[in-house]
Amino acid sequence: MSNSNTLFDNDFMERLEYLKLMATRMLPSRHRGEHRARKRGSGIELADYRPYVDGDDTRDVDWKAFLRLDKLVLRIFDEEADLPVYLFVDRSASMAFGDPPKFDFARKMAGALSYIGLMNHDLISIVWYGRKIDGWMAPKRGRNQIFRAFRFLDAGDTGGATSLSACFRTFFGSRRKRGLAVVLSDLMDDEDLLGAFDACRYQKHDMFVVQVLTPDEIAPALPDEALLTDSEDGSERRVRVTPRLLDRYQRALAEHQEKIEDYCSRYGFGFCVANSGEPFEDAVMAIFKTDRFIR
């Protein structure tokens, strides 16, 4: 797998080692399923105490403390979970743009996250999606699954339109173990993007959204008179490019991102924007630094 003809070559592997090291420092890693779940419950690691109330499981009462304090105190444990990580990678036609293409950038990010996840004994699933779910890699755990994940990612291709809403409805329509959904997409989805996020949220999944944009999408460089053709639906718009128009574009893009970010912020999800023109590991590190990727 480590050859120069694939997306995940030796250079990529070396970068992954760097990311793993950095992730080790930033993420407290123990054993299998070492990600701390948001849910407090039946784990073995004491997290906190609280007064007992009616209905609480008496098995969690700290009797030694009762003898000392003459109060019923309930022990609270972090629930150690086998946290599934669902990596949703957008493979629509719009992801083929950029140098390197956004799709490659997203795949590398997905590969890096898969590597780190598998190294931490997380359960990793990868989903190709466009207008619908175009393919997925069933949940895998263990370090020996890393190359399977790489092969899956390496085999991906772009094409077609995008509908995250349809994808999420399909994917989360089936019973899925609660986990972390990571969306790697340019989010140029004209359909109900926030509705799609709702579908994920209603299933109690955690979510981290990464918007991958090319430098040209962030700061378009267009001729004065341009006929813009949408790569996905083929729609055309004639524009007379002026600085003012570009300012408006930037504002519209920022509004679009703010809307997503507001949503994520409101519901505790993570969101970041990745520039495909920058090294992917920087984007991965930026994700880690947001402190929202892992709770």
Partner 1 sequence: MGFGAAPLLIALGVLLTAGIIVVLYWVRPEPQPVVVPSNLIWRRVLDERRRREDFWRWLVSLAIALLAGLAVVLAVAQPLPEGTARGGRTVIVMDTAPSMAASLPGGGTRWEQAAEQVRRILSGSTETSEFLLLDTAGDRGGRSFIGRREALEALEALGPVHGREHRFPDVADLVGSGTDGASAADVIFVGDGVHVSEAPEGVRRLSVFEPVPNAGITAFDVRPLPSDPGRFEAFIEVVRHPAGEEDAGVVVLQIDGAGGASARRTLRPDPGTPLGETVPLTGFVAGPVRAVIAISGEDGLPADNVAHAYIPARNRLRVLLAGGPNPFWEAALRLDPRVSLTVAPPGPEALADLDAGSVDLVVVEGAPPQAMPPVPVLFAGAGSAGWLPSRLGGEAADAGDEDGTTVMLPVVRGHAEHPLLRDLNFEDALARDVEAFDAASLGDRGPWRLLLGDSRLGLLAARESPLRGLAFAFPIARSNLPLQADFPLLLSRALSWLTDVEVRRVGLGQARVAMAAGAIFDAEGRELPSRRLGSEVSFDASEPSLYYAAGGGREIVVAASLLDRRASNLNQSAWAGEPPASLAPAGTVASALWPILALFALLLIVAEWVAFHRHATV
The piece of 15-23, 58-66, 105-113, 228-236 that touches partner 1 (CB under 8 A) is 228-236
State the nearest-atom distance from the C-beta of 253 to partner 1, in Å. 5
The piece of 23-31, 32-40, 167-175, 242-250 that touches partner 1 (CB under 8 A) is 242-250
- Residue 226 binds partner 1, judged by CB under 8 A: yes
- Residue 231 binds partner 1, judged by CB under 8 A: yes
State the nearest-atom distance from the C-beta of 241 to partner 1, in Å. 7
Residue type, 4: S
The piece of 29-37, 79-87, 118-126, 211-219 that touches partner 1 (CB under 8 A) is 211-219
- Tokens 């407090």 map to which residue? 40
Q: Which of 214, 273, 274, 292 binds partner 1 (CB under 8 A)?
A: 214
Q: Which of 59, 175, 244, 266 binds partner 1 (CB under 8 A)?
A: 244
Q: Which of residues 40-99 bind partner 1 (CB under 8 A)?
A: 93-97
CA dihedral over 89, 122, 44, 291, signed as positive or negative: negative
- The torsion region of residue 96 among left (phi > 0), alpha (psi -120 to 50) and beta comes to alpha
- Residue 10 binds partner 1, judged by CB under 8 A: no
The piece of 28-36, 114-122, 218-226, 277-285 that touches partner 1 (CB under 8 A) is 218-226
The piece of 70-78, 127-135, 168-176, 214-222 that touches partner 1 (CB under 8 A) is 214-222
| Rounded Cα distance, 114 and 125, in Å | 8
| Rounded Cα distance, 255 and 108, in Å | 27
Three-state secondary-structure class, residue 177: coil
State the nearest-atom distance from the C-beta of 218 to partner 1, in Å. 11
Does residue 190 contact residue 165 with C-beta atoms inside 8 Å? Answer: no
- Could you give phi then psi for residue 47, rounded to 5 degrees? -105, -40
Q: Which helix (H) or strand (E) holds 272?
A: strand 270-275
- Residue 104 binds partner 1, judged by CB under 8 A: no
Q: What is the DSSP string of 49-107?
A: EEE--TTS-GGGB-HHHHHHHSS-EEEEEEEE---EEEEEEE-SGGGG-TTTTHHHHHH
- Residue 238 binds partner 1, judged by CB under 8 A: yes
- Residue 157 binds partner 1, judged by CB under 8 A: no
The piece of 66-74, 116-124, 182-190, 278-286 that touches partner 1 (CB under 8 A) is 182-190
| Rounded Cα distance, 218 and 159, in Å | 22
| Rounded Cα distance, 167 and 186, in Å | 15
Does residue 43 contact residue 78 with C-beta atoms inside 8 Å? Answer: yes
- Residue 218 binds partner 1, judged by CB under 8 A: no
- Residue 240 binds partner 1, judged by CB under 8 A: yes
Does residue 92 contact residue 121 with C-beta atoms inside 8 Å? Answer: no
The size of the interface with partner 1 (CB under 8 A), counted in residues, is 42
Q: Which of 39, 245, 268, 290 binds partner 1 (CB under 8 A)?
A: 245
Site residues for partner 1 per CB under 8 A: 93-97, 102, 186, 188-190, 214, 216-217, 220, 222-233, 235-245, 248-249, 252-253, 256
